[in-house]
Amino acid sequence: MSVRESIGLHEQSCTSCLICVRDCPSQCIEIERHTEQLTEGRRPKTVHVLDAFRIDYALCMYCGICVDVCPTDALIWSPVAGLALPSRAALVSDREDLARRAQ
């Protein structure tokens, strides 16, 4: 069984679909995204582009639902610890920190 110290994000696999946001029972995942039109190929296509991704570990209960429901395996359990932080604000893991935890 993998070590579950925190959650990591493989940004390149995230489609900003918001499934993890909707299914998180603690409502501790926050995503900002925008849409772009792709004109390559035969038909124009609209895609979501990730702007920000945050997990608030002050609220997270480590249930793993976000990891389980992510359709692209962008969210993973990480062996990287370091969440015993001194302030409430420091418990919010941002995009860069989540990416570091996925390496």
Q: Which is nearer to ligand SF4, 38 or 62 (CB)?
A: 62
CB 102 → ligand SF4: shortest distance, Å? 11
Whether residue 6 contacts residue 65, with contact meaning beta carbons closer than 8 Å, is answered with no
Q: Is residue 102 near ligand SF4 by the rule CB under 6 A?
A: no
**x-or-dash string of contact with ligand SF4, 8-47, rule CB under 6 A:** ------xxxxxxx---xxx-xx-x----------------
Whether residue 70 contacts residue 29, with contact meaning beta carbons closer than 8 Å, is answered with no
Q: Is residue 79 near ligand SF4 by the rule CB under 6 A?
A: no
Segment 53 to 72, residues that bind ligand SF4, using CB under 6 A: 55, 60-66, 70, 72
Whether residue 74 contacts residue 13, with contact meaning beta carbons closer than 8 Å, is answered with yes
> What CA–CA distance (Å, rounded) separates 78 from 35?
29
Whole-angstrom CA distances from 3 to 23, 34, 37, 61, 92 are 23, 34, 40, 16, 21
Rule CB under 6 A: which residues touch ligand SF4? 14-20, 24-26, 28-29, 31, 55, 60-66, 70, 72, 74-75
